């Protein structure tokens, strides 16, 4: 066996398999093996303490993908929802969207654990190069547009404190690049999880508005009708769906599941991870809606609000401290999502281009992976510095685009999780397929409604008037 080293650390080893062929053991393989050794040791223990330690070792991708999707445009969408419509219809509706996300993301856990392949890689292998590159292009465009909105959120949130736009972009890039310094998936995941936990800051902000809990309970107990059926209403509905269910989530969680090294034995913990992430993200999303609902009650227009304006509008109601927490929540949402979404693009590129793609890689071995990750973020940050960019409009449109792109992505996911050749005994059961079909139909119907509002406004107005 031959081994190379760098600073005393083994980078790769060459061994021979049973057939006498050379097998390369990379730095990525060695780091992942260390992580799996800890999982094996924890699984061999007994009692609650060992089980909780095992859960701690295996959670990560599900929480990250859910809190990562509570990104800048998502939190701005929820804030706009509360300010424009209050909590009657949209509080239970947003919970429903997280249930939809849970259905979809559970499939990616099983797919990643069963195949040890990323989503883009599987599409390439099972459906051919055309669809592989198509999925990469579709994801790349959507991710880049979304990255722009993450920098918008950070810029607007820090703008509340008087931080100039260029400095806000620089801070985001520094945090993103700093998270990569360890060249270790485990460290990257834990650092990003710690940052993502600050998404829950919207909950205390909501409490500072002293919400009427009877009204909140009534919203769940007796789901209020949809507000007047207008194009703006459909835009908010689609934006809230796009704030919860988007294509990048499929690619990120499946690739992260593979990079983390989860196996079929770990699927149960992957589901717990995803449920926990959905619950935390839903709580933060509802916090943003409840926090801005007083703006609706005071009949304050939110049509042109950015993150800074939302915080400023809330300041008379919850004070400078509460408004500062709201602005900081927007900053956190943008930064964490910038990290996860740029990583999703880098994973997908590496999978389709057959290049090394892991956060366990040193820069020398993962040059293309880190280049895609870093350059996408830097380019998105530069665009945000363009003077006169219509920030809120861009945010809402990007969420709508995410909804329109989701049905094709779900078709690939559905076909893959029902492919017995690659899934074996964890192929989707009938009830899961039925739920997935419901999600596809709902997203398609929402997309058709929005299309009618754009290309046939007269028909749309007629529907709304009935």
Instruction: Give the best-scoring range by mean pLDDT among 47-51, 146-150, 166-170.
Output: 166-170
Quickly count: other Cβ atoms within 10 Å of residue 40's Cβ. Answer: 11
Task: Among 9-13, 154-158, 368-372, name the one with the lowest average pLDDT.
Answer: 9-13
CA distances from 446 to 41, 223, 242, 248, 250 (A): 48, 19, 11, 19, 20
pLDDT value for 204: 94
pLDDT value for 450: 65
Residue 164 pLDDT > 60: yes
Residue 301 pLDDT > 60: no
Please tell me which residue, 344 or 14, carries the higher pLDDT value: 344
- Which residues, at least 6 apart from 6, have a Cβ–Cβ distance to it below 8 Å? 362, 364
Rounded CA-CA distance 64/189 in Å is 8
Average pLDDT over residues 233-260: 84
What percent of the chain has a predicted confidence (pLDDT) above 90?
Answer: 17
Tokens of 310: 């939302």
pLDDT value for 83: 83
Tokens of 366: 């993962």
Residue 182 pLDDT > 70: yes
Tokens of 312: 């400023």
pLDDT value for 399: 64
Domains and CATH numbers, the chain: 1-58 (no CATH), 60-465 (1.10.4160)
CA distances from 22 to 15, 17, 25 (A): 6, 7, 10
pLDDT value for 270: 92
């Amino acid at each position: 066996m031959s081994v190379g080293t760098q600073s005393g650390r083994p980078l790769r080893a060459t061994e021979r398999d049973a057939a006498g062929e050379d097998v390369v053991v990379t730095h990525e393989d060695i780091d992942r093996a260390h992580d799996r050794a800890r999982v094996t040791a924890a699984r061999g223990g007994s009692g609650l303490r060992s089980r909780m330690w095992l859960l701690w070792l295996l959670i990560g991708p599900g929480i990250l993908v859910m809190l990562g999707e509570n990104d800048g445009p998502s939190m701005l969408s929820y804030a706009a929802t509360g300010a424009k419509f209050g909590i009657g219809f949209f509080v239970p509706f947003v919970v429903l969207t997280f249930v939809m996300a849970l259905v979809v993301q559970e499939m990616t856990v099983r797919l990643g654990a069963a195949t040890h392949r990323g989503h883009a890689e599987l599409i390439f292998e099972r459906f051919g190069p055309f669809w592989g590159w198509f999925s990469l292009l579709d994801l790349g465009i959507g991710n880049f547009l979304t990255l722009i909105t993450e920098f918008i959120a950070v810029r607007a949130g820090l703008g509340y404190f008087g931080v100039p736009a260029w400095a806000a972009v620089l801070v985001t890039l520094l945090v993103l690049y700093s998270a990569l310094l360890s060249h270790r998936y485990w460290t990257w995941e834990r650092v990003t999880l710690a940052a993502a936990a600050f998404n829950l800051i919207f909950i205390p902000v909501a409490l500072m508005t002293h919400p009427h809990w009877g009204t909140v309970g009534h919203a769940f107990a007796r789901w209020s009708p949809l507000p007047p059926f207008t194009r703006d209403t459909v835009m908010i509905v689609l934006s809230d769906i796009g704030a919860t269910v988007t294509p990048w989530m499929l690619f990120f969680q499946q690739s992260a599941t593979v990079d983390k090294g989860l196996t079929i034995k770990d699927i149960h913990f992957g589901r717990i991870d995803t449920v926990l992430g959905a619950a935390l993200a839903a709580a933060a999303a509802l916090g943003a809606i409840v926090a801005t609902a007083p703006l609706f009650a005071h009949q304050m227009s939110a049509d042109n609000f950015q993150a800074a304006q939302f915080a400023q509008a809330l300041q008379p109601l919850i004070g400078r401290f509460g408004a500062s927490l709201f602005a900081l929540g927007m900053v956190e949402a943008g930064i964490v999502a910038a990290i996860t979404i740029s990583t999703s693009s880098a994973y997908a590129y590496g999978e389709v281009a057959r290049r090394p793609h892991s956060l366990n890689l040193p820069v020398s071995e993962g040059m293309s992976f880190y280049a895609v990750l870093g350059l996408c973020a830097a380019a998105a940050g530069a665009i945000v510095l363009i003077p006169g960019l219509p920030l809120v409009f861009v945010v809402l449109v990007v969420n709508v685009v995410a909804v329109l792109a989701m049905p094709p992505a779900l078709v690939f996911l559905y076909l893959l999780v029902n492919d017995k050749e690659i899934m074996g005994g964890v192929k989707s059961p009938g009830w899961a397929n039925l739920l997935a079909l419901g999600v596809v139909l709902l997203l398609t119907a929402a997309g058709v409604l929005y299309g009618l509002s754009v290309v046939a406004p007269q028909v749309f107005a007629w529907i709304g008037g009935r």
